[in-house]
Amino acid sequence: MVKGDRATWKAKYFVKIGKLLEEYPRIFIVGADNVRSKQMQEIRVSLRGMAEVLMGKNTMMCKAIRAHIPNNPSLEKLLPHIKGNVGLVFSKEDPVAVRDKLLENKVAAPARAGAIAPVDVMVEAQNTGMGPEKTSFFQALNIPTKIAKGSIEIVSNVHLIHVDTKVGASEATLLQMLGVKPFHYGLVVENIYDNGSVFAPEILDITDEQLIGKFKSAVANVAAVSLEIGYCTQASVPHSLINGFKKVLAVAVETDITFPLAEGIKAYIADPSAFAAAAGPVAAAVEETAAPAKKEESEEEESDDDMGFS
């Protein structure tokens, strides 16, 4: 309820949002569809010390933000995202922690006719406990049933409601009769403003490994393009050096020109048997270590054969 005259209340609201815009560098734009006053109160309590929730009419929020744009021009990026039933959550904490805390505060709710389903709804095979007189109701929804012990039993799982579709009156009635509350409602993070940048909440799920993988892929692409067009970049320098060394090594192998790194290759080409002889003792050592193991296995097999059955 608005206390005092409306003009005074509006003035206090604009002062409050002005202080929040100055104090907090991070703002979450959250959808508040199907969130009731009691749940909103619980959300405010759970966020105490971490964030502040501000609700209000979109026109008032936009007007307050526009009034603050001369002090912080980047706030103008918020305006296109304030549409629908939304609120603002102000915080200085880690955005991932705040997002997770918002997601924790959801409550189960029944499916109401005409509502848009946020998730798919499946009805599992079960004994409903309803009498046979309700059979026609299930048949109208194309749900396979049978009568078991005097009650209706759903014989297989049924995809009753698809995500992002309207809930029909029959579907809502059935779920109510089964005592199923398929939906969970709470504040939904739609966009995040952080020190002048606005981004989607999915950005928070990007891991360091994903960033490193994308960076490596980009560097590889830059190196490939640079090598193809003959334009030297930091990404292509290592590849250019290796390719150059291969060409110099090939010339040294075919001529009398030599250098320290080429001497090993030239020696191998001149006498491969010397390297084979050097590798011989290593191979022999491997065979010697393998031989006792085989011998132990054969002894174990013999002992198993003699375990009281001879």
**Do 78 and 65 form a contact (C-beta atoms < 8 A)?**
yes
Q: Residue 66: how many CA atoms within 13 Å on its side-chain side?
A: 9
Average pLDDT score over residue span 281-309: 51
Average pLDDT score over residue span 15-34: 92
Residue type, 225: V
Task: Report CA-CA distances (Å) from 196 to 75, 174, 189.
Answer: 7, 48, 17
- Lowest model confidence (mean pLDDT) among 45-59, 65-79, 198-212, 251-265: 251-265
**Do 191 and 119 form a contact (C-beta atoms < 8 A)?**
no
Counting residues of the chain whose pLDDT is more than 70, the rounded percentage is: 87
Average pLDDT score over residue span 152-169: 90
- Lowest model confidence (mean pLDDT) among 60-74, 100-114, 146-160, 268-282: 268-282
For 226-285, write each residue's pLDDT tens digit. Answer: 989 989 899 899 998 998 888 888 888 888 888 888 888 888 888 777 777 665 555 555
Structure confidence at residue 271 (pLDDT): 79
Between CA 19 and CA 67 the distance in angstroms is 12
Average pLDDT score over residue span 284-293: 54
Three-class secondary structure assignment of the chain: CCCCCHHHHHHHHHHHHHHHHHHCCEEEEEECCCCCHHHHHHHHHHCCCCEEEECCCHHHHHHHHHHHCCCCHHHHHHHHHCCCCEEEEEECCCHHHHHHHHHHCCEEECCCCCCECCCCEEECCEECCCCHHHHHHHHHCCCCEEEECCEEEECCCEEEECCCCECCHHHHHHHHHHCCCCEEECCEEEEEEECCEEECHHHHHCCHHHHHHHHHHHHHHHHHHHHHHCCCCCCCHHHHHHHHHHHHHHHHHHCCCCCHHHHHHHHHHHCHHHHHHHHHHHHHHHHHHHHHHHHHHHHHHHHHHCCCCC
- Which residue did the predictor score with more confidence, 28 or 272? 28
Average pLDDT score over residue span 152-163: 90
pLDDT at 31 over 80: yes
Average pLDDT score over residue span 184-203: 91
Residue 310 pLDDT level (bands cut at 50, 70, 90): very low
pLDDT at 290 over 60: no
Between CA 250 and CA 30 the distance in angstroms is 65
Q: State the pTM of this model.
A: 0.64
Structure confidence at residue 309 (pLDDT): 40
Between CA 89 and CA 82 the distance in angstroms is 13
Structure confidence at residue 307 (pLDDT): 43
- Lowest model confidence (mean pLDDT) among 38-52, 176-190, 235-249, 252-266: 252-266
Structure confidence at residue 75 (pLDDT): 92
pLDDT at 26 over 90: yes
For 203, counting Cβ atoms within 10 Å of its Cβ (0-12 exposed, 13-18 middle, 19+ buried), the class is: exposed
> Which of 31, 32, 34, 181 minimizes the C-alpha distance to 116?
34
Average pLDDT score over residue span 65-89: 92
